[in-house]
Amino acid sequence: MRKRVLGSNLEVSEIGLGCMGMSQSYGATDEQEAINTIHYALDNGVYFLDTADMYGNGHNEELIGKALASYKGTEEVIIASKFGIVNGDDITKRYIDGSPEYVRSAIDKSLKRLNLEYLDLYYIHRVDKTVPIEETVGTMSDLVREGKIRHIGICEASLETIERANKVHPITAVQSEYSLWSRDVEAAILPKLQELGIGFVPYSPLGRGFLTTGFQFEEQDMRRFLPRFQDQNLLNNQKLVNQLTKIAEAMNIKTAQLALAWVLHKSENIVPIPGTKKISHLTDNIEATDVLLNTEQISELDRLFDSAAIQGTRYPGILMEEIDA
């Protein structure tokens, strides 16, 4: 597995492993299978693990802590976690907290669950619009000095917020949704990150599993609440994926591999974190790093997945409001 560098000096594997689905969102979970998948990732060069304190209300960080404790290999591990989304009993009760007090209590809890001395990368999960970004990042900068975190990241941030944050402390990575069917960041954010020397970590690079074949919902699947996965939107969007599958078949690769290769070809400062609970899918995703696309093939996919062709927003209204636009 080749490596890429986020920011000025955070070296990570060319793809990471998104661990969220091992604790929530996408149907049934199996702890042993998840731990096996994490071990397989580390043994096969995928050593950049992505989690957050709110995934499974702390379960995901504890799971990674267990996986690291039982890992027999000697490979290096880079752990990224996030803070700032506070879960409530239901989605209408959740809120964002970027206050200095919250940052300080959140990092200590995350380190305890992960059983780590420090985090390699700590992201603001959502920007708290009631707290100046300088205060949140200023507190994170103190955490760097104290040795609790090595690098600072920020998710779903606007251009202005990224620039302001980067003035307080160098931002190593921005993490936002980016895939063939979520291309909002292309126009302004990606060029600005290049200019500022900030890395980009696309989340949901497989469109939450939609940009694959054989996609189907399980019970208790959060995708049922996302507009793109509903009714006529779903039928319309499926037609685009069917065309993606035809192109992948002609190349003798899997649909998911083509979707991931497209993201990887966009820029060297991009490190996608496809999420999977399964070794079989992880194997496909690892192989995708060797898929070569030429400029015509990339342009063809760009045209096929033109933003106007996608029906439905990324999140329902209540969660779109959390995005810092």
Ligand X SMILES: NC(=O)c1ccc[n+]([C@@H]2O[C@H](COP(=O)([O-])OP(=O)(O)OC[C@H]3O[C@@H](n4cnc5c(N)ncnc54)[C@H](OP(=O)(O)O)[C@@H]3O)[C@@H](O)[C@H]2O)c1
Residues 176-235 that bind ligand X (CB under 6 A): 203-209, 212
Q: How far is CA 102 from the centre of its chain?
A: 22
Instruction: Report the C-alpha gap between 178 and 317 in whole angstroms.
Output: 19
Residues 3-32 that bind ligand X (CB under 6 A): 18-21, 26
Among candidate residues 228, 225, 223, 279, the one with its CA nearest the CA of residue 27 = 223
Q: Give the x/- contact pattern for ligand X in 243-262, rule: CB under 6 A.
A: -------------x------
Contact between 274 and ligand X (CB under 6 A)? yes
Interface with ligand X (CB under 6 A), residue total 28
Backbone region of residue 48 per phi and psi (left: phi > 0; alpha: psi in -120 to 50; beta: other values): beta
Task: Count how many residues are written for the chain.
Answer: 325
Is 55 catalytic? The answer is yes
Instruction: State the nearest-atom distance from the C-beta of 297 to ligand X, in Å.
Output: 19
Instruction: Report the C-alpha gap between 138 and 50 in whole angstroms.
Output: 23
* Interface pick for ligand X out of 273, 286, 291, 310 (rule CB under 6 A): 273
In this complex, which beta carbon is closest to ligand X, that of residue 49 or of residue 131? 49
* Interface pick for ligand X out of 23, 276, 289, 311 (rule CB under 6 A): 276
Instruction: Report the C-alpha gap between 65 and 124 in whole angstroms.
Output: 21
Helix boundaries (H) for 44-185: 59-69, 100-114, 133-146, 159-168
295-304 vs 231-250: helix crossing angle, rounded to 10: 160
Contact between 81 and ligand X (CB under 6 A)? no
Contact between 84 and ligand X (CB under 6 A)? no
Q: Which of 26, 40, 47, 55 is catalytic?
A: 55
Contact between 127 and ligand X (CB under 6 A)? no
Return residues touching ligand X (CB under 6 A): 18-21, 26, 50, 125, 155-156, 175, 203-209, 212, 256, 273-278, 281, 284-285
